[in-house]
Chains A and B, each alone.
Chain A
């Protein structure tokens, strides 16, 4: 079964490495992984689609929480949530059958974002199943290129997945937490070894 696990992580060098390494090392199956910034300063959000039974997902969550750079983990699988992924699909078509392709796009609420004499790029922002349905219908025309971002997920209603507590950190420590580990800007003096 596919689970939607959301992790709030420190926006720091190496975090993606730590998470990816954990999944590889413990043999967890990632279906997709989407990362981006959030409304909270210095916090990134990962939406991870994990394949496995309850016990596996329980371990995934606990092992993630064990990483010092992971602030919060939630399983949104059983939650009322908006689930979306973005797909860009380049389909082979000419003036002769372009109308058919665009009709299929309309049915699946995808948009044409690029046209050429022999191709069209469709953009779909949808749930996984709808993207799959769109793809099934486009295959006979020839899918030249496909790119999917993987699922992002957000709970419906006023409840949020957020850290929430930004107080208690001095400016100095705030700077430390956000900048440490990154190469300072500007020219560094050359030091030979």
Chain B
């Protein structure tokens, strides 16, 4: 008999922090209860869009001035903004939509938050209880549609269930491996009255939150680390989520192990640290991918062994011993064979590992990686020349917000510009980069920039936009104008879906299909929304444009007319192993 192994874990928490909520025990409408719940949980920024069934809730908003409702222009935008709000702060994001099309418009944003483990509360209205299942106007099975895209979801059938549902939902969204939780609320539940009772304790018997790891498992892994000659750390989003950067650094320093990060792990370790060797993966650096391919012990920390990070699983490095620390046991042995699966929160397991390993250094191994990095620096360099390239633009934006600007946030869309931003912007602090990793959602960049700026009003938020993705969601500029969020939208305009073009060039014999796009005059779009627009055609204009944008107190749209035929290097070709990383088109068979 095998029982699914569980580490020592918590399955409940006290939902009260100090005193019970002020409104505890009062008889309120469902709408008021919902708003009291948000206030008590300090989740008072809501990105929403009204509609028929949520009108009873909107009707009560003015009575709760502590709740800030931000009227977005599309529910997907609201979802991404709430997602980015959560990524920028580490706190719960909230998005609200009406029934039917409102709920279905959220789907992309929900799955995006799910793939990247982001704590977001998605609220939808539904038709009244007696109409559910009768295909009423604007009815959709939101609970059913979102079920596979959420950590958990609820359909609330009584006003008295709202408070315990919110307490449980917020607990689930923000603990363990965070993720989106959805609550579906029929219209008449907003109107029904009930006593507001926030539960004293949340207890979900099918849910446990791993903390520290089993000491025996730690010792066994530590022995493997002590015996390693060529160890490597692969640090993921978990380091950022758990605020474990210091713990990671302490562990890497004690055991003398070079650190690579995944895309979402960027910022988990300062890239200026001696043991930081940058990003691995499909567009990771050559030396990073070779280090992962030649290590004898691979230590994955708070990452999910994703195909974009590891390349072809079977050939990642069959001889290496894999140690995998993750809070979600289902990630262990899902994609690659793992000798030492360790269930735990990296915040707690890293100090355990640090205490268990011997102080060590691996000078030969580090020198080997350093030599590779020097020999292969060219494929990661920013092209110099008369043409305006994305690499140059993002590098200059990063330089303009170098070390002295602790509060700069980089948001990206998905595609070539995203990879160049990851490569050239020296992301060195947690939550500095906000990007859609797992789902790869084009159009994330505009609403995410809104959410990040709302979350951190003092930050310089630069959104590196693709010209394709920008056109999917740029309606949120109107929200930025309403909210006076001074986001800088830097469009990398080359008239192409750049990454698709790159794949068609390299893997489909230059057969370019549905990839070139005529673009509107983006400057006129800026004018139409009443924001500042700056067009940039040449490298010589870049620094001045960035200065001008930063100096402007409101939103700015920058139309960078960049080259069209550039490719992102290095690259692990689709289906190849990390060891097969190439640095130019000549190497692609």
Q: Are B2 and A172 in contact (CB under 8 A)?
A: no
> Contacts of B129 on A, CB cut-off 8 Å?
183-184, 188, 191
The answer to whether B206 touches A70, judged by C-beta atoms less than 8 angstroms apart, is yes
Chain A positions within 8 Å of B155 at CB level: 13-14, 181
**Contact A184-B157, Cβ < 8 Å, known A191-B187, A193-B127:** yes
Please indicate the chain B residues that have their CB under 8 angstroms from the CB of A1 in the complex.
none
How many Å lie between the Cα of A173 and that of B201 in the bound state? 9
A65–B330 CA distance with the chains assembled, in angstroms: 8
Which of A73-81, A82-90, A95-103, A117-125 has 4 or more CB atoms under 8 Å from chain B? A73-81
A71 within 8 A of B: yes
The verdict on A21 contacting chain B, using a C-beta distance below 8 Å, is yes
Which residues of the partner chain A approach B4 to less than 8 Å between Cβ atoms?
A: 61-62, 65, 73-74
- Interface residue? A155 (CB, 8 A): yes
Contact: B158 with A74, CB < 8 Å? no
* Chain B residues, Cβ within 8 Å of A66: 328, 330
Closest chain-A Cβ to B539's Cβ sits at a distance in Å of: 47
Q: In the complex, are the beta carbons of B128 and A193 less than 8 A apart?
A: yes
The interface on chain A, measured as residues whose beta carbon lies within 8 A of the other chain's beta carbons, has a size of: 50
| Chain A residues within 8 Å of B211, by CB | none
- Nearest residue in A to B191 (C-beta to C-beta)? A191
Checking B1, B99, B138 against A76 with a beta-carbon cut-off of 8 angstroms, the contacting residue is B1
Complex alpha-carbon distance, A78 and B328, angstroms = 26
- Rounded to whole Å, the gap between the CB of A4 and the closest CB of chain B is 10
Question: Interface readout for A13-54 with B: 1 if CB under 8 Å, 0 if not?
Answer: 110011001100100000000000000000000000000000
* Residue in B4, B53, B188, B201 with the greatest tally of chain A CB atoms within 10 Å: B4
* A-B pairs under 8 A by CB, number: 120
- The reply to whether the CB of B151 lies closer than 8 angstroms to some CB of chain A is yes
* Contact (Cβ within 8 A) B164 A78: no
Min Cβ gap A124→B in Å is: 27
Classify chain B's interface size: 35 or more
Say if the beta carbon of A107 comes within 8 Å of chain B: no
The answer to the question of B197 belonging to the interface, with a C-beta cut-off of 8 Å to chain A, is: yes
Nearest opposing residue in chain A for B199, CB measure: A173
Given contacts A65-B330, A189-B188, contact A14 B1 (CB under 8 A): no
Q: B140-148, B376-384, B449-457: which one contacts chain A?
A: B140-148
On chain B, the residues within 8 Å of A72 by CB distance are 3, 206
Against B, the Cβ 8 Å flags (1 = close, 0 = not) of A141-165 are 0000000000000010000000101
> Which residues of chain A are near B518, meaning CB under 8 Å?
none
CB distance B203 to A173 under 8 Å?
Answer: yes
In the complex, the answer to whether A59 meets B333 with C-beta atoms within 8 Å is yes
**In the complex, what's the smallest C-beta–C-beta distance from A62 to chain B, in angstroms?**
4
Candidates A69, A78, A180, A192; contact of B1 at CB < 8 Å: A78
* Across-interface contacts of A69 in B (CB, < 8 A): 152, 206
**CB–CB B206/A173 < 8 A:** no
- Residue of B2, B12, B130, B165 ringed by the most chain A CB atoms within 10 A: B2
B334 touches A10 (CB 8 A): no
Is there contact, CB below 8 Å, between A183 and B203?
Answer: no
**B52 contacts partner chain A, Cβ-Cβ < 8 Å:** yes
Interface centre among B99, B156, B188 (most CB of A within 10 A): B188
CB pair B138 A59 closer than 8 Å: no
Residue among B99, B154, B161, B201 with most chain A CB within 10 A: B161
CB-based contact B152/A74 at 8 Å: no
Q: Is the CB of A193 within 8 A of B187?
A: yes
Q: Enumerate chain A residues within 8 angstroms of B158, measured Cβ to Cβ.
A: 179-180, 184
Asked if B329 is at the interface of the complex by the 8 Å CB criterion, the answer is: yes
Contacts of B2 on A, CB cut-off 8 Å?
Answer: 61, 74-75, 78
B3 partner residues in chain A, CB cutoff 8 A: 72-74
Chain A residue nearest to B206 in the complex (CB) = A71
Closest to A22 in B: B148
Asked whether B367 is an interface residue with its Cβ less than 8 Å from the other chain, the reply is no
Is A68's CB under 8 angstroms from B151's CB? Answer: yes
Question: How many Å lie between the Cα of A76 and that of B136 in the bound state?
Answer: 45
Bound Cα distance from A66 to B161, whole angstroms: 24
A61–B333 alpha-carbon span in the complex (Å): 12
B154 with A180: CB separation less than 8 A: yes
* A104 adjacent to chain B (CB < 8 Å): no
Knowing A65-B4, A68-B172, say if A193 contacts B137 (CB, 8 Å).
yes
On whether the beta carbons of B157 and A181 are closer than 8 Å, the reply is yes
Residues in A whose Cβ lies below 8 Å from that of B207: 68
Whether A169 sits at the interface, judged by CB under 8 Å, is yes
Closest B residue to A62 by CB, please name it: B330
Quote the shortest CB–CB distance from B352 to chain A (angstroms): 22
Minimal Cβ-Cβ distance residue in B for A63: B330
Since A58-B333, A66-B328, A193-B131 are in contact, a sample of 7 more A-B pairs with Cβ atoms closer than 8 Å, ordered by chain A residue number, is A9-B206, A59-B333, A61-B2, A79-B1, A155-B1, A176-B165, A182-B157
**Pairs of residues from A and B, 4 with the lowest C-beta to C-beta distance, nearest first:** A191-B128, A62-B330, A191-B188, A68-B152
Sample of 12 A–B contacts (CB below 8 Å): A14-B147, A62-B329, A66-B328, A66-B330, A69-B206, A73-B4, A75-B1, A179-B161, A183-B157, A184-B129, A184-B157, A191-B131
